[in-house]
Amino acid sequence: MSVDTKSVATHLAQKSSITPLGGFLRKSKLDELPQLINVLKGEMSLVGPRPNLENQEELIEQREKQGVYDYLPGITGLAQIKNIDMSTPKLLAEVDAKMLKNLTIKKYFQYIFMTIAGKGSGDNVINP
């Protein structure tokens, strides 16, 4: 992101704020690599609900209702593959809960491989 970009959730950022390098990192999902440190430390899983910001109150409320916080956050999951981002908090919480309830080893690795293959586009950004 450009230096003067407001500190907001990705889906609230202006598309014009994304630098060419940032666009490449997001599209290739290389921007997720630092989170592997959190996975190795046991603070995150490869598959799970994406972490939210502390100020995303509606999403937090919906996830609490669905029991999503009983699980580790993840780098990717069903919502990312289906292009559901934090701009639709109720739907996101429902999809996260459904994924966690029905997660099997097979689905766990399917979500990882689908993410690597480029399924899902990450959080949407607002056009300029």
How much of the chain exceeds pLDDT 70, in percent? 82
Residue 50 reports pLDDT greater than 80: yes
Residue 34 reports pLDDT greater than 70: yes
**pLDDT tens, residue by residue, 69-123:** 999 999 999 999 999 988 899 999 999 999 999 999 999 999 999 988 877 655 4
Q: Are 75 and 35 in contact (CB under 8 A)?
A: yes
CA pair distance 57, 39, nearest whole angstrom = 25
Q: Give the per-residue pLDDT at 75.
A: 92
Q: What is the dihedral of CA 86, 92, 93, 96, to 10 degrees?
A: -120
Q: What are phi and psi of 24, to 5 degrees?
A: -65, -45
Q: Are 123 and 31 in contact (CB under 8 A)?
A: no
Of the candidates 93, 112, 123, 92, the one whose C-alpha atom is nearest the C-alpha of residue 45 is 112
Is the pTM above the cut of 0.85?
no
